[in-house]
Amino acid sequence: MCLSPSVSPSGIQASPNSNATLPCNVTIPPYVDKIDKSLIKAGWTKNGSDIASFTQAVTQIKEGFRWDTGDFINGDFSLTILRASLELQGLYECTITFVFFDFTKCSSSIPFLASPILSVPQQWVVLETESQLKCSADSFYPPPVSFSWIRDGQVIQPSYIVEGELTPDGYYMNVTFGCHVSHGGRHQELDFQLNITCETRKSNLPSVKLSAVSSKSDNIPLTLYCDVESFYPEEVSVSWLQNGTVLPEPPTTDQNPDGTLRTRRYYTLSAEQREQGGKVECAVNQPGVLHPVSGSSFLELLDPRGMVLDILRDFFCTGQYTRPHPFKYLICLQLFFLLYFGSL
């Protein structure tokens, strides 16, 4: 009589690169203490082809399988598949012959089962804006798998079946929404943190104000600072530009009573950059917000003292006005009236 304990009607399930044991056990009559191996002839076949055989004279077994002949005397003729793969699934049969006993046979099918590998890419979503969350189930076999979406332990999207797409390595994959996956009687769940950006309407975008730290000389570096107010969450990036060209990166954040954050960022212009003048900007970027918010001003307004000294140097040191600019003309006119009427 042949027994195959713990074998489901569908056979033995194997996962990729794992070992799978195909049970084949023979009951020993009560009057027999143990089986004499010299009386045994046994073998295993896969879909009718030999993969292992045993006689008193010789034992043969194909690579990728393990057969412990030492267990034969206890009636255990189980075969172990090493590193299961798609190519090894099929119908396996164990045939055992005893010299003084009846012929006996065990058979077991082995369907291959590869559980899905789940992944969810980290991403930002914006409040009051439709977003798509991706949950990938890859490298599973056979199809299908079922997906459902869960929030705080509550199912918000019922389970539905996905067949998947066959990949070159023979496995299946699919990308869909949801993070609870059922496959072959097994369940997997992947939890992840959802990042949210609040500022979606223009009126709620952070405010940006650009200022300069006053300095006593125009020959020393000039420090700019940028006040960013009423933004959330903390993840923002600030970049500095001069005349449209991004300046090299030089920081942090405090919380407002309403829960938003504020930060002041500084940038020190070199003497050459200060001399260059023109338009300066403080641009603020947030994850999930398409366009940066910026505050801008002309350096001549932020740094009028430097402009006055520049004009005086041009007039009194070089005898000429070298770099005309609308703001310089205005300041020059003010200086003229100051000098002219002040001398009266």
pLDDT digits (tens, 9 = 90+) for 110-160: 666 677 777 777 767 666 677 777 777 777 777 777 777 777 677 777 776
Query: SS3 breakdown of the chain: % helix, strand, coil, rounded to 5?
Result: 15, 40, 40
The three-class DSSP label of residue 148 is strand
pTM above 0.75, yes or no: no
Cα dihedral: 282, 286, 288, 293 (round 10): -30
| Euclidean distance between CA atoms 179 and 148, whole angstroms | 6
**Does 172 score more than 90 pLDDT?**
no
Span 13-42, pLDDT tens digits: 666 777 888 888 877 666 666 667 777 788
Mean pLDDT of the chain: 72
pLDDT in tens, 183-205: 554 555 555 555 555 544 444 57
Distances (CA, A) of 335 to 145, 307, 338: 80, 12, 5
Q: What is the mean pLDDT of residues 222-245?
A: 85
**In this structure, what DSSP letter does residue 261 have?**
E
The H-assigned helical ranges of the chain are 271-276, 299-302, 304-313, 326-342
Is the pLDDT at 99 greater than 70, yes or no? no
pLDDT digits 0-9 by tens, 63-91: 888 988 888 877 788 888 888 777 777 78
- Tokens 């002040």 belong to 342
**pLDDT, position 40:** 79
* CATH 3.40.190.10 matches 117-198: no
Which is it for strands 195-197 and 124-126: parallel, antiparallel or unpaired?
parallel
Q: What angle do CA 262, 263, 268 make, to 5 degrees?
A: 155
Is the confidence at residue 293, as pLDDT, over 70?
yes
pLDDT recorded at residue 243? 93
233 touches 319 (CB < 8 A): no
Give the per-residue pLDDT at 266.
84
Q: How large a percentage of the chain has pLDDT more than 90? A: 5
Is the model's pLDDT at 7 over the cut of 70? no
**pLDDT band, very low/low/confident/very high, at 242 (cuts 50, 70, 90):** very high
| Count of CB atoms situated within 10 Å of the CB of 105 | 11
Q: Which residue has the tokens 């993070």?
A: 179
With bands split at pLDDT 50, 70 and 90, how would you rate the model's confidence at 310? low
For residues 155 and 318, the answer to whether their CB atoms sit within 8 Å is no
Residue 5 confidence (pLDDT) above 50: no
Q: What's the CA gap between 335 and 94, in Å, rounded?
A: 108
Burial of 146 (C-beta count, 10 Å sphere; 0-12/13-18/19+):
middle
Residue 344 pLDDT: 46
CA distances from 253 to 49, 78, 202, 230, 281 (A): 71, 66, 22, 11, 20
| b/e per residue 198-230 (b: at least 16 CB within 10 A) | bbeeeeebbebebbbeebeebeeebebebbbeb
CATH architecture of the region 207-308: Sandwich (2.60)
The whole-number average pLDDT for the span 218-241 is 83
Nearest CA among 304, 301, 312 for reference residue 335: 312
Q: Is the pLDDT of residue 280 over 90?
A: yes
The whole-number pLDDT of residue 168 equals 72
Local structure of residue 269 (DSSP, 8 states)? E
CATH fold of 12-113 reads Immunoglobulin-like (2.60.40)
Residue ranges of the chain assigned to CATH 2.60.40.10 = 12-113, 117-198, 207-308
Q: How many CB atoms lie within 10 A of CB 174?
A: 19
Whether cis (ω within 30° of 0) applies to the bond prior to 287 is: no
Please give the average per-residue pLDDT across 304-322, as a whole number: 55
pLDDT at position 316 over 70: no
Residue 6 has pLDDT above 50, yes or no: no
pLDDT of residue 81: 86
Residue 175's pLDDT is 45
C-beta neighbour count of 251 within 10 angstroms: 9
pLDDT value at 281 more than 90: yes
Cα separations (Å) of 58 from 40, 45, 55, 131? 12, 17, 5, 66
